Amino acid sequence: MSKQSVEKEVTAAFAGVTLGAGIGLWEAQAIDDYACEDIRRSNREKDQKTDWKLLDYDDLQRCHSSLSFFDAEGMKFHLPAYIIGSVREKVDDPLFHLIQLDEFSLSKLESLSNMQRQSVVLYLQWCLEQDTYSFDHISIRRALQEYWQN
């Protein structure tokens, strides 16, 4: 499977997704830093809220820990940018957040539509074809079987 097919599916599945009231990239960094409410609000003002395709890969990489602090809306908005950035080798992959599925991480994925879930499945299947992810293949297969392909 090609990188282009993964990108195409993810882009189509997440077309039109906005951040809404979800936690944004920089706001999540403030949460990670235990920042006060004023800084959290200030960071939120910097967040991209309307078009995930405008997210900068350098910012995504710099704020990779934000994946741990997004809520469901924040994850839905940022996940396609992280996946495409990963496929393009511009950011570290978001695999941990897609294959280590506890109650909290599952709550961040609950708002994904069937089409969005299927695009994540395609990405995970692409990862299985990459030697780079050989260490994670067992966990990827388990996550696909137990969660993503249900």
Count up the domains in the chain and report the number. Answer: 1
pTM: 0.96
Task: Tell me which residue range forms the domain holding 37.
Answer: 3-148
Is 80 exceeded by the pLDDT of residue 150? no
Encode pLDDT of 3-60 as tens digits. Answer: 999 999 999 999 999 999 999 999 999 999 999 999 999 999 999 999 999 999 999 9
- Give the side-chain half-sphere CA count within 13 A for 58: 0
Burial class of residue 60, CB neighbours in 10 A (0-12, 13-18, 19+): buried
